[in-house]
Each structure stands twice: as structure tokens, then as C-alpha cells.
């Protein structure tokens, strides 16, 4: 099932005052301006009506597919073979939820509640995963962007993945995470 969302962006001047005339809106491009983005999930039927013009969007709004939709629309699904001395697992990239590193080993967790331990550190393991689908959020974690259910912007930032797995976002990775995910 395709996932779509409407993204609506408002640019405003954060001086505590509401714009009273059009010249205030023109100033919104200045360094004191801020941008606020709202994301609203919609179904495929509504997305098609917007694309055909049957439903009109307000200015500053656009329709986009989520990362999961983009991955599912690829013509060939990427198979990954994970292997250690005791186990071999063949899976599709989007079926991997996250990778957790423990020094020189990496545990790869999948949607079927299984995992396989690889004798590679996370830096080596990361090379095998597509950066369009996976993101390093911590020195010990690599996550699948399509498996993010929610995230926190409060101190102690973290993401919640499928199966309600909570993973902290490393201090040095916060800015890159929010820029990449466009939150």
C-alpha cells in the first residue's frame, strides 16, 4: 500500500508579532525568519485526486511520497544475504529494522523478530546498506528510515521504530538526522 503525505510549509518572522500587511510577509526571507512544516498522511485515492486536479491544494502545500513508498516503487527489491558461521539469512533491505553494534560485532534485526550476528563492526556493516534507505543515528545504531514510527525532539532525543523499539539519537548525529528526515 502506497503511503502519501501532504507537506505544508509556513514561513514566518519570529519577532512575536503577527504580520499586519504584505510587506511583513515579504520580510519573511530575512535571517529572523523561521519555517514551520506540517505533514499530513493521506491515502492513495486522495493523492490521485490531488494529482489530477480534482482536489486543489493551498499555496505552500505539496504532495510527496514517504520514503517507504519510494523504496517499494523500485522495480527490483534489493536482496541482502546475511551470513555468519552458523546461520545464513536472505532478506529484502526494507525488511531490516535496524542494526546494533557491539564493538566488533553487528546484530541485524528484521521484521520477523529474528536477528543475525555478523562479525563486522558497524562501520564495515554500514557499507552493505543503501544510504537512501538506512541512516546512522548513533555510533552503535543504523536504522531503516522506512521503519520509523515516531521521534522525539525533546532532550534525550530518540526514534521509535517498528515493534516499538526505542533508539537514542547520538549527540553528534542529531542535526544530520533531522536534516535527512526533514522533520
| DSSP letter for each residue of 44-99 | HHHHHHHHHTSSPPPTTEEEEE-HHHHHHHSSSPPEEEEE-SS-EEEEEGGGEEEE
The pLDDT, as a whole number, for residue 41 is: 75
What's the whole-model pTM score?
0.58
| 163: containing domain | 79-181
Domain count, the chain: 2
CB within 8 Å of 132: residues ≥ 6 apart: 70, 71
Q: Quick one: pLDDT at residue 144?
A: 92
Do 165 and 115 fall within a single domain? yes
74 in a domain, yes or no? no
- In this structure, the answer to whether residues 98 and 22 fall within a common structural domain is no
My answer on whether 45 and 133 are in the same domain is no
Same structural domain, 87 and 167: yes
Q: What stretch of H or E contains 126?
A: helix 122-126
Residues 92 and 152 in one domain: yes
Co-location of 101 and 140 in the same domain: yes
Report pLDDT for 122.
Answer: 93
Same domain, residue pair 103 and 22: no
Residue spans of the chain under pLDDT 70: 1-40, 59-60, 63-77, 155-156, 183
83 and 168 part of one domain: yes
Asked if residue 50 belongs to a domain, the reply is yes
- Residues 63-82 as b/e (b if ≥16 CB within 10 A, e otherwise) read bebbbbbbbeeeeeeeebeb
Q: Which of 150, 169, 176 is nearest to 161 (CA)?
A: 150
The pLDDT value recorded for residue 111 is 92
Contacts of 182 (CB under 8 A, 6+ apart): 37
Instruction: Please tell me whether residues 39 and 120 are part of one structural domain.
Output: no
Amino acid at each position: 500500500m502506497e503511503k502519501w503525505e501532504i507537506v505544508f510549509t509556513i514561513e514566518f518572522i519570529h519577532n512575536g508579532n503577527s504580520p499586519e500587511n504584505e510587506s511583513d510577509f515579504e520580510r519573511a526571507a530575512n535571517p529572523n525568519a523561521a519555517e514551520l512544516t506540517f505533514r499530513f498522511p493521506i491515502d492513495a485515492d486522495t493523492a490521485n485526486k490531488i494529482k489530477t486536479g480534482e482536489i486543489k491544494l493551498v499555496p505552500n502545500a505539496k504532495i510527496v511520497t514517504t520514503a517507504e513508498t519510494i523504496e517499494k516503487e523500485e522495480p527490483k527489491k534489493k536482496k541482502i544475504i546475511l551470513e555468519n558461521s552458523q546461520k545464513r539469512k536472505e532478506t529484502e533491505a526494507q525488511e531490516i529494522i535496524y542494526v546494533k553494534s557491539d564493538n566488533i560485532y553487528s546484530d541485524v534485526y528484521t521484521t520477523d523478530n529474528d536477528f543475525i550476528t555478523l562479525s563486522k563492526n558497524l562501520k564495515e556493516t554500514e557499507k552493505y546498506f543503501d544510504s537512501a534507505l538506512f541512516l546512522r543515528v548513533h555510533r552503535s545504531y543504523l536504522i531503516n528510515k522506512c521503519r520509523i514510527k515516531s521521534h522525539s525532539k525533546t532532550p534525550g532525543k530518540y526514534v521509535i521504530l517498528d515493534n516499538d523499539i526505542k533508539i537514542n539519537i547520538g549527540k553528534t548525529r542529531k542535526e544530520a538526522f533531522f536534516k535527512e528526515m526533514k522533520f
